[in-house]
Amino acid sequence: MKAVLLAGGFGTRLRPLSCTRPKLLFPLLGRPLVDFQLERLAQSGVDEVVIAVHHMAEILMAEIGDERYGIRIRYSIEQEPLGTGGAIRWARRYIGDEEFLAMNGDVVSDLDLRSLIDFHKSHDAAATIALYEVEDPRRFGVAVLEDDNRIRCFVEKPRDPSVGRAVNAGVYILTPDVFRYLPEQGACAIERTAFPKLAEEGKLYGFVHKGLWLDVGLPPDYLRANFALLDRQGSFISEEARVSERATVNPPVYIRRGAVIEEDAHIGPYAIIDQGVWVGRGARIEECVVFPFAHIGHHASLRGAIVGEHARIGRWVKVETNCIISDFAKIGDNATLISGVRVCPYKEVRESIFEPRIVT
């Protein structure tokens, strides 16, 4: 089977971290998010993937190349962003007249793609959508299911809990019939054009997934996705990392090769320290993702933050939850950044910041 992987979005909710890298190249336990998707597609018997790209297309194509995990990779390049529906329609020239899998590139899930394909084949469906039951459906579009898992309709942001909790998980099996339900040109979202019409005609089915599902939209989602994988995979400390015997490591942690952790540092729980990161004496890192080659000064304290590649955090700096320090940014010694401060790439902060804001 072939697959279309949607990778052309702007990732605006992850700014300013996404100013210097597309979302699909954000590291998940040190590997780009797109690798995680391609590996799962390969394991499910997909042999060719069309990656639909627009924003930072060149960076993605250079990084991914034309083969990964034994899968042939092609690119469908959009001159204008076409939305999820338009992107799938434009990628059709590589798919031909077969059934295919389509998925958002920013979903972290252990959805069993083989079971989804088998489910689709056992029903007379023009399309099958993977669904995920969320705790609180009030900010989503909920799929209302018949007893045989046919989707009757979608209810946007339901107030009535009896409507259900099954929301679109961003993974689909589509037949060529679906193209008749998409506008012939221009940008469109498949969720809002083809799917409601297919449901009306009784041609759309839902496959409910019960395991892990997270879509990486906002920075806390990105942290959660890393931590969820860390929980599943367990701690890892590379033999090529240098962790002082006098440092305290509270699992789970993920410490990659070339990282250096100096004495009296406290690492974890939930610290993902990428390759080549240097953590100074007495520094404390909890519930954070630190990108490659960042420098964390002596006695700095970071909690619930994301630190970009080659960023430099000075001595005795305090970084609170929901802060983002982008690639190559610098935070001067002794500064405190309260919760919600975002520092743009290459920017320097010399003084404390006591209100949540973006440093541009």
Which among 40-48, 79-87, 109-117, 120-128 is the span making contact with ligand GTP, rule CB under 6 A? 79-87
Could you tell me the smallest distance in angstroms from the CB atom of residue 22 to ligand GTP?
8
Core vs surface per residue 164-187: b (16+ CB within 10 A) or e: bbbbbbbbbbbbeebbebbeeeee
Q: Which of residues 89-108 bind ligand GTP (CB under 6 A)?
A: 104-106
In the shown chain, the binding pattern of residues 24 to 63 toward ligand GTP, with x for contact by CB under 6 A and - for none, equals ----------------------------xxx---------
* Contact between 11 and ligand GTP per CB under 6 A: yes
The answer to whether 118 and 128 are in contact (CB under 8 A) is: no
| Residue 219 in contact with ligand GTP, rule: CB under 6 A | no
Contact call for residue 23 and ligand GTP (CB under 6 A): yes
Distance CA 210, CA 137 (A): 15
Looking at the annotation, which residues are catalytic? 157
When the beta carbons of 104 and 128 are compared against ligand GTP, the nearer one is 104
Answer yes or no whether residue 280 interacts with ligand GTP by CB under 6 A.
Answer: no
Q: Among 28, 46, 50, 82, which residue interacts with ligand GTP (rule: CB under 6 A)? A: 82
Question: Residues with Cβ < 8 Å from 67, sequence gap 6 or more?
Answer: 73
- Each residue 158-197 as x (binds ligand GTP by CB under 6 A) or -, in order, gives ----------------------------------------
* Cβ count within 10 A of residue 31: 11
**What is the smallest separation between the CB atom of 267 and ligand GTP, expressed in angstroms?**
30
Asked if 8 interacts with ligand GTP (CB under 6 A), we say: yes
Residue nearest to ligand GTP (CB): 9
Only one residue has tokens 């060149």, namely 58
- As a whole number of angstroms, the distance between CA 63 and CA 35 comes to 10
> In the sheet that 330-331 helps form, which strands lie side by side, from edge to edge?
242-243, 260-261, 278-279, 295-296, 312-313, 330-331, 348-349
Q: Compute the distance between CA of residue 173 and CA of residue 54 in angstroms, rounded to an integer.
A: 23
Q: Which of 163, 46, 56, 179 is nearest to 114 (CA)?
A: 46
Residues that bind ligand GTP (CB under 6 A): 6-13, 23, 52-54, 78, 81-84, 87, 104-106, 217
